[in-house]
Chains A and B, each alone.
Chain A
Amino acid sequence: MENNNIKASEERLIYADILNKGMKIGLAILIVTFIVYLTGILNPHIPVKDLPKYWDMPVHEYLKAANIKSGWSWIGKIGEGDFINFIGIAFLAGVTIICYIRIIPIYFRKNDRVYGIIAVLEVLVLALAASGLLKVGGH
């Protein structure tokens, strides 16, 4: 058990390991895709020279002016230089969910049902946030 022993628990080490790998992969994707964006290898949805017209707008005005739909619609624009950056961003925002999913069976196997249920509930909360059902922009 984590609380009774100075040695790190199984779930803690596994969580740390996934978090470490996920963070490194996410950051690497973020840097590579940003280089693709800046070098213009892929045409962006919004030309970079036009960005100053958009970045001082409230988000709902920006979405309307740039003709962008909110939610997971970026997946459909993944071939565009600016939207390709969302792969790394989504990866960084998704790694915690993977960590939780991985430790759930460990808690139940250890008969630590309360923490198993807390971890399940956390996955549901994060999945709800990630689902796009609760987005605000685009109106």
Chain B
Amino acid sequence: MFRRLVIWTNIIILLILISISNVFAGEHTATADILSNSPWWVWPLVLFVVTFVLGIVAVLGGVGGGVLFVPIISGFFPFHLDFVRGAGLLVALAGALAAGPGLLKKGMAYLRLALPVALIASACAIVGAILGLALPTNVIQISLGITILGIVAIMIIARKSDYPDVKEADALSSALRITGIYYEPSTGEEVNWKIHRTPLGLALFVIIGIMAGMFGLGAGWANVPVLNLVMGAPLKVSVATSKFLLSITDTSAAWIYVNSGAVLPVIVVPSIIGIMLGSMVGVKILSKAKPASVRYIVIVLLLFAGTRALLKGFGI
């Protein structure tokens, strides 16, 4: 039942997005006419509904809200990319702030792992945000489209490892004492973990930070593979620490957008409330059923949104 509900919900989103996109493509469908001549409050209302559904889909699809928000909202709503990226960062930040306390208290997100990584990522996110606001919009649109299609490739290709084989901790992680123990309820065992390739992992967070600031995407899609596959942190620790990391990385980038004027409350607030309420509903659905098909629907949504960003960037 839930599976059908989710599939139908996604089909409806796609139809809404296609209808909305016609407004900007100059095609005069009935929906397009209604939306283009509608009063101001229609767009924030549609934004709230779409972000509510995105919140559900993000939880069920195992992705962050930010990665869906920016390409979909910038591709299909009349808002300029500058404001969408500012809102995207605040949406991702609010989600990370909401999840962070629980993840820290449960012992899944680790300060010792997060702090050095966050320092690099947040400093680089500032650079990314400044670059993102300074570069021409079409350059950012094209880069965003390429990045979204790259994320789709990562989602299809990258394998995750519950417990990566780390034979020996490297010198830097040993010096920083980045190691831990957590309780795994599914096996009833305590899991000891350590990491390796720390310098390479930290270097990759330079790129992740810049991209997070530039596109306002959040960065869970990149954080988790680097923490898990490159540095060797267990998957659960990687996912939780990544979510917590966003609360720091996105804070620095969000301030640049706020101080540059790229934040419109009429876009930000409905989006934050919509995606947070949607996430809560998503978590409830997830506790009863986990439709595997949602991941494919997320991939299709991202493919659609990434292609649209590319086309917009090329002025097509």
Give A residues with C-beta under 8 Å from B: 1-9, 11-13, 15-17, 19-20, 22-23, 26-27, 30-31, 33-34, 37, 48-52, 54-59, 62-63, 68, 70-72, 82, 85-86, 89-90, 92-93, 95-97, 103, 114-115, 118-119, 121-122, 125-126, 128-132, 134-138
Contacts and interface: CB of A to CB of B under 8 A. Distances in A.
Contact of A59 (B40, B80, B90, B126): B80
A85 to B, nearest CB: 4
Contacts of B276: 27
9 contacts: A23-B94, A52-B40, A55-B83, A70-B260, A93-B258, A125-B252, A126-B255, A129-B255, A136-B134
A93 B93 contact: yes
Nearest to B272: A30
Contacts of B83: 55, 59
B176 interface: yes
A9 to B, nearest CB: 7
Interface of B: 39-41, 43, 78-80, 82-83, 90, 93-94, 97-98, 100-102, 104-105, 107, 110-112, 115-116, 118-119, 122-123, 126, 129-130, 133-134, 137, 175-183, 190, 247-248, 251-256, 258-269, 272-273, 276
A114 B116 CA distance: 10
Contacts of A52: 40, 43, 78
A70 B261 contact: yes
A105 B51 CA distance: 40
A28 B134 CA distance: 33
Given A89-B265, A126-B122, A134 B130 contact: yes
Given A30-B269, A58-B137, A3 B40 contact: no
Contact of B183 (A6, A20, A129): A6
Given A34-B265, A58-B137, A138-B260, A122 B100 contact: no
A20 B83 CA distance: 27
Contacts of B129: 136
